[in-house]
Structure 1
Amino acid sequence: MYKKLESYCLRKKGAVSTYPFGPSAQVFKVGGKMFALLVEENGMPAISLKCDPVIAENLREQNKAIRPGYHLNKQHWNTVTVDGSIPQSELYAMMDHSYELVLKGMTKAARSAIEDRLV
């Protein structure tokens, strides 16, 4: 599943993969801003994603695999343990939401430069 998550992140327009925190934490950025952090915990992937604070709290209440972002702003980030309890489509929707929030926070010029890319 790790490779599927990695591949999904990299399919986002303008997405790049970096390792600023060492070889065990893969960070996905768009326009220089992080939208996902992928690690392996106890043999399972865990992905940290940006999230609207109200939605973040609701997600945490609904699923114990979702917790406040580990080493991140707990109001705006969730860490999701990918243990099979969350359907892949919902996980991808959370990843999309994170990417879109990061794009939305950029200047119009930066956002246009990314959105106008062919790939």
Structure 2
Amino acid sequence: CDPELAIELRERYPEIEPGYHTNKRLWNSIWLRPSIDDKVICDCIVHAYSEVLKKLPRIKREPLSELLEVWKQKK
């Protein structure tokens, strides 16, 4: 997660905490409880996937980026 967004999400949603056994500045853990909206969870997944894609070489990133765009359209 973008470090600033990670902090914002943790402050806004008690179900989102610093990542368990990960770099707590960059990763969040989400407790799946009825109190957190499905859209928030989906948005976090899309954001995480996008952040990982940024780090990949272009040849690997392009086909995966297409999958991300298809998934975003289905939301």
Select the structure that is richer in strand.
1
* TM-score, normalised via structure 2 length: 0.80
1:52/1:115 CA distance change after superposition, 3 Å: closer
More displaced, 107-116 or 94-103?
A: 107-116
- Find the residue that maps to 2:28 and give its secondary structure: strand
Select the structure that is richer in helix.
2
Aligned to 2:55: 105
Structure 1 stretches of 5 or more lacking a match?
A: 1-50
* TM-score, normalised via structure 1 length: 0.52
Q: Cα offset for 1:65?
A: 0.8
For 1:79 and 1:70, locate their aligned partners in 2 and report how far apart those are by CA, in whole Å. Answer: 6
For 2:2 and 2:62, locate their aligned partners in 1 and report how far apart those are by CA, in whole Å. Answer: 22
Q: What code does the residue aligned with 1:77 have? A: W
For 1:116 and 1:99, locate their aligned partners in 2 and report how far apart those are by CA, in whole Å. Answer: 12
Aligned to 1:91: 41
Identity of aligned residues (%): 36
Structure 2 stretches of 5 or more lacking a match?
A: 68-75
CA offsets 1:53-77 (integer angstroms, 9 cap, x no match): 0000011011111100000000000
